[in-house]
A and B are shown apart, each in its own frame.
Chain A
Amino acid sequence: MSTASGTGENDRDATGGVERPSTAWPLFEVFVRGKRGLNHVHVGSLHAADEEMALHNARNLYTRRNEGVSIWVVRAADITASSPDEKDPFFAPNGDKVYRHPTFYEIPDDVPHI
């Protein structure tokens, strides 16, 4: 896991960057559910003073044409993301578990519906 928080979309080390003045609005990541039955999907980010304003700004910015039925906003600083530099060890356990995939199993051609 990455020590610096962030979604990977807007990842900056909160302590390493230039210190922000206290009046600067924090960054929020925005997720929109396009329609019922779909997951929320990350669409971008915005600045807002607090969660409520972030939600209103997200509505105006990312759903001007009925692009969504539900919005999530979350402070970018509150997201913990995996780091691409750890890509190999982090996702490696999947590599040798081919038996998790249906194609691992050999079934005769004449067995129907499987």
Chain B
Amino acid sequence: MSTEEATITDEERLHQRFESTVEHDQRVEPRDWMPEGYRKTLVRQIAQHAHSEIIGMQPEGNWLTRAPSLRRKAILLAKVQDEAGHGLYLYSAAETLGVERSDLTEKLVARRQKYSSIFNYPALTFADIGVIGWLVDGAAIVNQVPLCRCSYGPYARAMIRICKEESFHQRQGYELLLTMMHGSEQQRRDVQDAVDRWWWPSLMMFGPPDGDSPNTQQSMAWGIKRHTNDQLRQKFVDMTVPQAEVLGVTLPDSGLSYNAEREHYEFSEPDWEEFHRVLAGEGPCNTQRVERRRAAHEGGSWVREAAAAHAAKQAERGRAAV
């Protein structure tokens, strides 16, 4: 047998082992052999997810200094800090696939990697903070819970951590809205207005319809994804409609109705043209979000350099002392 033939056989054997791991619902770990497509898909998805958490700090961070009470300010600060933490868990998971966090950040600020298009919408009033927690974090939970069983170990473990914390995010948002709905007429109007603006972008968070989502089948075969976009979107609508009723707000969809036979809510199609426009960079805040991230990254470079220089000097002294 020639060396070349032996190599092919080795590769096949590795491939079989990978397939069998995924098929038996076991986890793939960083040092395991994996197909290049699997690795690339994961890097793209985890990086996009991490970027979303980091960019996601901006719409809410905008309200930190204007929170109406110390209680709301402390809650919002903790939530924004969580988003930073979630971004870092995810960068850590991505780095197990052989990429560098600094490279991913460079790609984000150069707009070569994407983040969830939901964060390209502005948070106009404090009611938006409640609606972001309720709808945006609610949709994120529906998306993320199945990822806790993702076939790639480090990603699944990061998701378990994130999901535990995400529940606080959604509940604080809903509680904030309940408080506002028991407040003044103006506050109730603000809540309804925020719901009207965030409802459709929240539905778009699950991605394009199944027929228009070419990567879904492969991702499901690899055990990265467990449900299709449309399945998750339906689940979110079914969960959210009763919550809206308790809150006393109207969801802005005249096509919304319960189908007793299907035991699901019927709802209208989001405006997919808008989705593609925002994704292509034409949303209300795309430029602002990326430029803000770039400014923070570049503005912080002297801190990173100074800390590295300090560490090097300390290490040098340590060696001299020995």
Contact = CB atoms under 8 A, between A and B. Distances in A.
Interface of A: 2, 8-12, 17-18, 20, 22-25, 27, 43-47, 49-50, 53, 60-61, 64-65, 81, 83-85
Interface centre among A17, A25, A49, A65 (most CB of B within 10 A): A49
Contact of A9 (B154, B311, B314): B154
Contact of B308 (A23, A60, A65): A23
B196 interface: no
B307 interface: yes
B31 A11 contact: yes
A49 B311 contact: yes
15 contacts: A8-B31, A9-B96, A22-B308, A23-B309, A43-B161, A44-B93, A44-B154, A44-B158, A45-B95, A46-B88, A47-B101, A49-B310, A49-B311, A50-B310, A64-B85
A44 B314 contact: no
Given A10-B96, A64-B85, A49 B307 contact: yes
A83 B31 contact: yes
Contact of B92 (A12, A23, A45): A45
Interface string B292-307: 0000000000001101
A65 B158 CA distance: 16
Nearest to A42: B157
A84 B31 contact: yes
Given A2-B31, A44-B161, 13 more contacts: A10-B30, A11-B30, A23-B304, A27-B95, A43-B161, A44-B93, A46-B88, A53-B307, A53-B311, A61-B85, A64-B82, A84-B31, A85-B33
The 9 closest A-B pairs by CB, nearest first: A50-B311, A49-B307, A49-B311, A45-B92, A44-B92, A23-B308, A23-B305, A8-B31, A84-B31
B98 interface: yes
A60 B309 CA distance: 23
B74 interface: no
A50 B95 contact: no
Interface string B68-92: 0000000000100110010011001
Interface centre among A43, A44, A65, A85 (most CB of B within 10 A): A44
A83 B305 CA distance: 34
B31 A12 contact: no
B256 interface: no
Contacts of B78: 64
A60 to B, nearest CB: 8
Instruction: Say whether chain B's binding surface is mostly helix, strand, loop, or mixed.
Output: helix
A10 B100 CA distance: 10
Contacts of B308: 22-25, 49
B102 A24 contact: yes
B32 interface: yes
A27 B93 CA distance: 12
Contacts of A9: 30, 96, 154
A1 to B, nearest CB: 12
Contacts of B32: 84
A84 B30 CA distance: 10
Contacts of B271: none
B244 interface: no
Nearest to A30: B92
A61 B96 contact: no
Nearest to A22: B308
B29 interface: yes
Contacts of B310: 49-50
Interface centre among A8, A27, A45 (most CB of B within 10 A): A45
A71 to B, nearest CB: 15
Nearest to B315: A50
A43 B88 CA distance: 12
A49 B311 CA distance: 6
Contacts of A24: 100, 102, 308
Contacts of B88: 46, 61
Given A44-B158, A50-B314, A84-B29, A10 B304 contact: no
Contacts of A81: 31
